């Protein structure tokens, strides 16, 4: 996910199904993304988390041996699969795009031992899983798509076992008066909302290095000459992102379920 999407209202599953289908047919897009974020070719990303960022997120989850990791809004599955590879955790990925879930399942079958990963269709606010099922939960660059974000945070708390760790990456508004910023980002305030959702040990970090990598990625994207549908869409998003770049900050947020 990225901070903005070229849609007047909140994007739905059909929108993202087409978005992911276009992406799958765009090797140029994946090559630029991997190079800018330092990702290996096998990691199919749909967000802007760097390779270094994956390491930081993995460490903060503190997954126990053979623990269960939930990756909500998993997209094509790359980040959750990589965390599971590093930790030996079992993985359940959830996304409301059936196209994304299909691709994530194929990647999980290639990259993880048999029976260690499951991917299913579900929503940020209704994952369709039992209470307290997870030892760790990650949500990369997507919490702004919940209506409202607080509802997603309450779902995260429901899904985590006592002592379970939450790791969320995303963006928050620096200048609330900037009308260029999508309204959904104005609703994201994780320092305020995580305690209300029932979390403790909330830590919000301003990730300037991640944000700089994101700027460099967008600059490379918009400079490409000649492109497919996925790249044309991405270039439009890149131009919008660069225009409002200094009004948004990149955050990495961790918390614990008591």
Q: Looking at the whole model, is its pTM more than 0.95?
A: no
More confident residue, 178 or 49: 49
Q: What percent of the chain has pLDDT over 70?
A: 96
Contact 229, 22 (CB under 8 A): yes
> What b/e readout covers 16-48, taking b as 16+ CB neighbours within 10 angstroms?
bbebbebbbebeebbebbbebbebeeebbbbbb
Residue 5: pLDDT band with limits 50, 70, 90: very low
- The predicted pLDDT at position 9 comes to 56
- The predicted pLDDT at position 3 comes to 53
- The predicted pLDDT at position 19 comes to 73
**Helix locations, 38-88, DSSP H:** 51-61, 78-87
Contact 92, 119 (CB under 8 A): yes
* Residues with Cβ within 8 Å of residue 176, at least 6 apart in sequence: 186
What's the chain's average pLDDT?
92
- The predicted pLDDT at position 16 comes to 84
What backbone torsions phi and psi does residue 115 show, to the nearest 5 degrees? 80, 5
Q: How far is CA 210 from CA 144, 205, 206, 214, in A?
A: 18, 11, 9, 6
- The predicted pLDDT at position 176 comes to 85
Q: Report the pLDDT averaged over residues 115-142.
A: 97
Cis peptide, bond prior to residue 200, ω within 30 of zero: no
| Residue 13 confidence (pLDDT) above 90 | no
* Residues with Cβ within 8 Å of residue 50, at least 6 apart in sequence: 37, 38, 39, 209, 210, 213
| Residue with token string 């990259």 | 111
Q: Report the pLDDT averaged over residues 9-24.
A: 76
Contact 112, 84 (CB under 8 A): yes
């Amino acid at each position: 996910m990225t901070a903005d999407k070229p849609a007047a209202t909140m994007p739905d599953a059909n929108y993202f199904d087409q978005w992911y289908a276009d992406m799958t047919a765009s090797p140029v897009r994946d090559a630029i993304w991997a190079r800018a974020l330092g990702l290996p070719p096998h990691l199919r990303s749909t967000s802007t988390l760097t390779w270094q960022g994956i390491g930081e997120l993995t460490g903060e989850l503190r997954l126990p041996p053979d623990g269960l990791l939930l990756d909500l809004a998993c997209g094509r599955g790359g980040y959750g699969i990589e965390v599971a590879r590093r930790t030996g955790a079992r993985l359940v990925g959830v996304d409301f795009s059936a196209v994304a879930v299909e691709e994530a399942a194929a990647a999980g079958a290639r990259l993880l031992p048999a029976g260690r990963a499951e991917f299913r269709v579900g929503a940020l606010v209704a994952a369709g899983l039992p209470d307290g099922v997870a030892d760790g939960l990650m949500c990369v660059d997507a919490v702004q798509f919940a209506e409202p974000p607080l509802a997603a945070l309450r779902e995260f708390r429901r899904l985590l076992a006592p002592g379970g760790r939450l790791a969320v990456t995303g963006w928050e508004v620096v200048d609330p008066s900037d009308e260029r910023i999508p309204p959904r980002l104005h609703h994201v305030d994780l320092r305020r909302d995580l305690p209300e959702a029932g979390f403790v040990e909330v830590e919000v970090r301003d990730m300037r290095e991640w944000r700089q990598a994101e700027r460099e990625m967008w600059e490379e994207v918009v400079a490409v000459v000649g492109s497919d549908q996925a790249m044309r869409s991405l270039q439009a998003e890149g131009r919008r992102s660069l225009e409002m770049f200094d009004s948004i900050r990149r955050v990495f947020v961790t918390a614990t379920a008591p």
